Amino acid sequence: MADRTNEPTWGHRWGFADTRFVLNDDDSVTLTGSRYELCGYKMHDFLPYVREVLGLDPDFKEKRPEVDPKPVPAPRKNRRFCRRLGNFYRPDQYTFDDRERLVHSHGQTSADEVFRVIYSQLERVADMVIYPEAEKDCAMLVALARTMDVCLVPYGGGTSVSCALKLPVSEERMIVSVDMRRMNRVEWIDRENQRALVQAGITGEELERRLGEAGYVSGHEPDSIELSTLGGWIATHASGMKKNRYGNIEDIVEQVTLITPSGRVEHLTASPRVSMGMQPQNLFFGSEGNLGLITSAVIKIHPRPRVQRYGSLVFPDFAQGVSFLRNLAETSFVPASIRLVDNVQFRFGQALKPRATGSAAVLDRLKKYFVLKVKGFDPQQMSAATILMEGSHEEVSFQENGLYRLAKKYGGLPGGSENGRRGYRLTFAIAYIRDFLSDFHILGETFETSVPWDRIHQVCDAVVAQAQDRHQELDLPGRPYVSYRITQVYHTGVCIYFMFGFYAKGVEDPETVFSQIEHSLRQAIIDAGGSISHHHGVGKLRSEFMKHTLSSRGIRLLKQIKRATDPNNVFGIRNNVLDD
């Protein structure tokens, strides 16, 4: 894995600056750069797919004008704080630069943050950005902010899609964004006990690269692995695509160090498991910047798997695929990752492929003939699953044999390892599509939920129906784009990941309209039996739904813990139950 620690990113938009979707003269689309498998070839079927699913022909000749230069207000400076800070921090450890301040004032929530930065203006911008390099820097900073009445906001990779980094407009104090990414070291690796002490600012990709040099992996692989950080994973209660083998973040982390205005909080020793009564550390998972700075964690590590094998399955429809997953969850051969997409996303994946030529084109036609004519699959109903298996040769062979044998009972056909690999890796590149489409007035976002097995279809149907109803009520152009996939399998249910979008040209205040619809879709999820979130967290985007998630006494308890830990609200980002 290459070292991409210092490679430039877009800043406000998603991802790396060498990568973007561009429109070609022949109506095809190309992804620039070379870091993803989608890069470098023409996608002739992408725009026809967009036209089909939206039910109209978007104007791809005229881009939505981007605000340039972007308005950034003068910083609010706490003079005493700034003077004292200079006694402890070097000049290259803090900045008032307008671009850095703006980049550190938002996450990646589409309508509420990114679109407002690119096409209009944020309501509140950070006043200073600070880059601590050691835990002592963090402790000094928190103590100084408490004394000088300054607001601190932890910042990791900036990938939040829950408005967790959206700064409170009502905050009158100087807001300092604390960028943790210089704290990116693996402090030690304990080979005997298979654990490592890691600083919280390390990105997932960098973590895997450094562990890989020693022959290990952490196994936590979210879609945002290239940019998101260990501290951010803990703060949002994150999940990764290989959860089945390595666990969610709470299963991977053994010990967390948190610097609060009341001092350093941590378990004094890391342990596989301990029965010690109530554990303060459990509150750090999902704390969303409300309690302090996460500076480091002891994590479990695993020897690099000897075998990594991809696979794929095609089902007659989504319902058959769900039945397969339900049965699979009860077996002993659940792979590291298995994801089931609906027909809309299945066709989306096909639209991103290059057009086959020569013998490859002949083979594709034969495969299509077999699936559609011999097996009788309907191309408007087909569903597909991508699979990743990791472990020893024996483990992977056991999983592979069991998977394909079980799939036959539900009409599943093997789709090949290449389709599995491509489908798995596709997730890292498709995030760039949002920003490409937004330039042409197409707004899109993803959101997720966890659902019991018996509510999967009700939740999916409720979201589709609500999106269509709101689209019609608001008299929006064309049709709404709604699709879904199951990304995680549990004993009692699954994680469903939704994609939603619509064409907004001519729509007055489209960002507000988008947010209102997204809010109603979340309500539909909860009403149908889904959860507030599976791994994106709550932030401010979903804070209103906490009353459907936690009892009033539970909410009061969390607020009391916040007051006891941070009585002056130094960490004033106000996420979750603390949202205004």
Give residue-wise pLDDT tens across range 300-317: 999 999 999 999 999 999
Stretch among 86-90, 140-144, 226-230, 363-367 having the lowest mean pLDDT:
363-367
Q: Calculate the CA dihedral of residues 433, 166, 553, 452 and round it to 10 degrees.
A: 0
Give residue-wise pLDDT tens across range 491-509: 999 999 999 999 999 999 9
Give residue-wise pLDDT tens across range 316-336: 999 999 999 999 999 999 999
Burial of 92: CB neighbours in 10 Å, binned 0-12, 13-18, 19+: exposed
Statement: residue 362 has pLDDT above 60: no
Listed in sequence order, the residues at least 6 apart from 35 whose beta carbon sits closer than 8 Å to its beta carbon are 16, 18, 19
Closest CA to 318 of 399, 408, 378: 378
Q: Which two tokens stand for residue 73?
A: 């207000």
- Rounded Cα distance between 436 and 455, Å, is 34
The predicted model gives 410-419 an average pLDDT of 95
Reported as half-sphere exposure (CB side, CA atoms, 13 A), residue 450 has a value of 15
Stretch among 75-84, 365-374, 540-549 having the lowest mean pLDDT:
365-374
- What is the number of other CB atoms lying within 10 angstroms of the CB of residue 486? 24
269 band by pLDDT with thresholds 50, 70 and 90: confident
At residue 365, the pLDDT reads: 66
**What single-letter amino acid sits at 40?**
G
Render 178-191 in DSSP notation, one character per residue.
EE-TT---EEEEET
Give residue-wise pLDDT tens across range 526-572: 999 999 999 999 999 999 999 999 999 999 999 999 999 999 999 99
8-14 long-range contacts (CB < 8 A, ≥24 apart) are 9/227, 10/435, 11/99, 11/103, 12/70, 12/102, 12/103, 12/106, 12/114, 12/117, 12/118, 13/114, 13/118, 13/435, 14/108, 14/114, 14/431, 14/432, 14/434, 14/435
First to last CA, the chain: 43
Listed in sequence order, the residues at least 6 apart from 265 whose beta carbon sits closer than 8 Å to its beta carbon are 257, 258, 259, 280, 292, 565
Listed in sequence order, the residues at least 6 apart from 472 whose beta carbon sits closer than 8 Å to its beta carbon are none
Helices (H), 444-547: 456-473, 510-527
**Residue that is written with structure tokens 């902010």 in the block:** 145
42, 191, 232, 369 from 255: Cα distances, Å: 47, 17, 15, 54
For 65-79, give one letter per residue: b (16+ CB within 10 A) or e.
Answer: eeeeebebeebeebe
At residue 545, the pLDDT reads: 97
476 phi/psi in degrees, rounded to 5 = -85, 155
What rounded mean pLDDT belongs to the chain?
A: 95
At residue 401, the pLDDT reads: 97
Q: Which two tokens stand for residue 87?
A: 């006694």
At residue 359, the pLDDT reads: 60
Question: Do the beta carbons of residue 495 and residue 524 sit within 8 Å?
Answer: no
Kindly list the strands in the beta sheet with 175-179, ordered across the sheet, starting from the edge strand earlier in the chain. Answer: 94-95, 128-130, 175-179, 151-155
Q: Catalytic residues, which ones?
A: 497
Statement: residue 373 has pLDDT above 90: no
At residue 361, the pLDDT reads: 64
Statement: residue 45 has pLDDT above 90: yes
Closest CA to 261 of 293, 306, 305: 293
**338, β-bridge pairs:** 387
- Rounded Cα distance between 323 and 340, Å, is 11
149, 226, 231, 327, 374 from 495: Cα distances, Å: 41, 22, 22, 16, 33
